[in-house]
Structure formats: structure tokens, C-alpha cells
Amino acid sequence: MSMLARTARARPKTSNLDSEFARDVIAGLSARPKWLWAKYFYDDRGSELFEQITALPEYYPTRTELGILDARAAEIARFIPPGTALIEFGSGSTAKARIVLRAAAVAAYVPVDISAGFLNSEATRLARDLPRLRILPVAADFTTPFELPAAIRTRPRVGFFPGSTIGNFEPPQAAEFLRHAARLLGQRAHFIVGVDLVKDERVLEAAYDDAAGVTAAFNLNLLRRINRELGADFDLDRFRHKALYNRAQHRIEMHLESLAAQNVVLGDRVIPFTAGETIHTESSYKYTVESFQALAAQAGWSPAAVWTDPKGYFSLHALRLA
């Protein structure tokens, strides 16, 4: 038997160990402490589970931000000149964009998302509901350079980044992203960004560890994805979801904790876990209005307006380039 045949047989049919996903997973699981990029949560199932999270009683961010958008739609629309291309980063279900699209004279909507299948089905659904709107979906990782559609080249641009997805970056990477968005959106652009606020730890921890176990399923789905796409052999019953608020860093951390000492096989590697060892799968930073404005200022954005809800749980910022 040739070397080639032996190698091919040793690996499960579905694995693609040369992909960027594989390289990132191997690097993260070889690091101490172990960690994985949160952007990999979003395969089809991950996107569906995130949608379920947004409806949970404990997960206040979505309903709170939707409330702000509803209450302030007319004020937000003042930052969106007629004929604008609205570019949404991490568009998910497009539920929040729909409020903006109803209030402003947007000519083209560009939803950008890493979850390609979900993006396309949501764009199709939106096209059915708003047949006169030009919808130009872009399946891309917004942490790396990507092109906007040529069709919007001459249009004024407004960025939209709701959901506090910016909180899933480490603060230096958030500043880097804001700089990258400034270049992409151009000189006279506005950027509407949703940012979750620092609050009572019990409210935060419940939001990321719900009673129904949906957030746990969302977190564990990452291991399921690694098994399916990379042929690893994670036993999902031997890991558990853990969420805690790190007060010093103002962030919720999600982890997957190994319930026993065990080895996981990934390609030709064996990844050892001690009992209680965790993989850090997500940080969700919480800001104050001022601390977020200071971060945006590092990237050249100045505050144009900020709206919050009556409880002060969530903030929506309109930024302009200084």
C-alpha cells in the first residue's frame, strides 16, 4: 500500500485538515490555556441556536436593543441620507436592520456574515418582504479584508453593527476593527453600533447560562462542528458549558470544561485534557457609554448620538469620522 493510501485511510472522509478552520482549532487547542475563536460558533446550527438565544427570557440584549431601535428609529434615520448603502456586519436574522430599513430611505442593503447558508436564506426571506430593496449579501469574515459589491461604489455608506458583536473582540482588536470599518465605509460615513453595558453580575451570568440550556447547546455545538468538519472525536457528554463574569476585565467568559482527564484525537494529534481544564470559547466585553466612546475615538470615530433603554442595560451609538 502506498503512503498516500495509508494517509487517506487514517483520516475520516469529512475532515479538511488544511483549512484555516483546522489550523485555528489546532493552534487554539495547543495553547495554554486552550481557546477557540468565537466566530466558529456560526455554522447553520450555531446560527439557529443563536436565534433561539435571542428569544430567551434571560437574554436581555436582543429585546432591549430592538426596543431602542423601535423608539429611536426616526432619530437614527437622520444619520442615513437618501440613497445610502446600509452595510451590516454580522447580520444574522436581519431583524434589527428591518427596523432601520423601514425608517430610512436606504437604496441598498449589504448584509455581511460568516454563516453563508444562514445569510443567504435570511436575504431571500428579506427580499420576499421588501421586494423593492436592493439586497447584496456578502459571505465574508469581517475580521479579514473583504470587498464591498461594486454596485454600491458611488453611494453614501452607513455601517450598522448591532447586537454587541463588537464585544466579542478583545478591546485592541475591536479598535482595529473600527479602524478597518472606517476605511471600508469612507470619509463621510456614519456607523451605528450596539454595545452591551456593564451591569449587575447576576443579570449578566443568567443571560449566558439560561435555565433551558440553549446557551450550553450553542457552546457545545462548536465541538460538534469540529467533530463533523475536522473528524475529531470530542465526546460531548464529557464537556460542560460554563459562563462567568470576569469583573476585572468587564467581560463574560464562556468556557467548555472537561469533566474528566481525557484525550481527544484530531487528525494525527492527540489533545490531552485534565479534569476541570477548560477551553475559552468566547469573551463578551461589557462597556460603559464613556469607555466605548474612548475605544471608538482610538479608531477615529467621534460620538454623534447615543441612545440607551430606561434600565441602562444597552447602548446604541451613532459615530462619525472625526
Task: Using CB under 6 A, list all residues that contact ligand AVI.
Answer: 53, 61, 163-165, 167-168, 208, 215, 282, 284
Q: Does 215 bind ligand SAH (CB under 6 A)?
A: no
User: 111 vs 167, which CB is nearer to ligand AVI?
Assistant: 167
Minimum distance from residue 118 beta carbon to ligand SAH (Å):
7
3-state SS, the chain, equals: CCHHHHHHHHCCCCCCCCCHHHHHHHHHHHCCCEECCHHHHCCHHHHHHHHHHHCCCCCHHHHHHHHHHHHHHHHHHCCCCCCEEEEEECCCCCHHHHHHHHHCCEEEEEEEECCHHHHHHHHHHHHHHCCCCEECCEECCCCCCCCCCHHHCCCCEEEEECCCHHHHCCHHHHHHHHHHHHHHHCCCCEEEEEEEECCCHHHHHHHCCCCCCHHHHHHHHHHHHHHHHHCCCCCHHHEEEEEEEECCCCEEEEEEEECCCEEEEECCEEEEECCCCEEEEEEEECECHHHHHHHHHHCCEEEEEEEECCCCCEEEEEEEEC
- Which stretch in 16-24, 162-170, 220-228, 284-292 sits in contact with ligand SAH by CB under 6 A? 162-170
Contact pattern for ligand SAH over residues 81 through 110, marking x by CB under 6 A: ---------xxx---x--------------
User: 208 vs 307, which CB is nearer to ligand AVI?
Assistant: 208
User: 54 vs 291, which CB is nearer to ligand SAH?
Assistant: 54
Which residues from 240-279 bind ligand SAH, rule CB under 6 A?
none
278 interface partner picked from ligand AVI, ligand SAH, none, CB below 5 to 8 A per type: none
How many residues belong to the site for ligand SAH (CB under 6 A)? 20
User: 219 vs 258, which CB is nearer to ligand SAH?
Assistant: 219
Minimum distance from residue 63 beta carbon to ligand SAH (Å):
11
Give CA 155 to chain center in angstroms.
26
Which residues from 52-81 bind ligand SAH, rule CB under 6 A?
54, 62
Nearest 10 degrees: Cα torsion 124, 126, 130, 135 = -70
Which cell numbers hold the place of 84?
445610502
Minimum distance from residue 322 beta carbon to ligand SAH (Å):
26
Sign of CA dihedral 311, 316, 320, 322: positive
User: 84 vs 168, which CB is nearer to ligand AVI?
Assistant: 168
167 interface partner picked from ligand SAH, ligand AVI, none, CB below 5 to 8 A per type: ligand AVI
Which residue in the set 39, 225, 242, 286 belongs to the binding site for ligand SAH (CB under 6 A)?
A: 39
Q: Does 115 bind ligand SAH (CB under 6 A)?
A: yes
Q: Let me know the angle formed at the C-alpha of 103 by 291 and 108, rounded to the nearest 5 degrees.
A: 90
**Shortest-Cβ-distance residue relative to ligand AVI:** 284
Which cell numbers hold the place of 82?
437618501
Minimum distance from residue 152 beta carbon to ligand AVI (Å):
25
Which residue in the set 120, 143, 291, 308 belongs to the binding site for ligand SAH (CB under 6 A)?
A: 143
Check if the beta carbon of residue 237 is closer than 8 Å to that of residue 271: no
Minimum distance from residue 2 beta carbon to ligand AVI (Å):
46
Q: Does 220 bind ligand SAH (CB under 6 A)?
A: no
Which residues of this protein are in contact with ligand SAH, per CB under 6 A?
39, 42, 47, 50, 54, 62, 90-92, 96, 112-115, 141-143, 162-163, 165
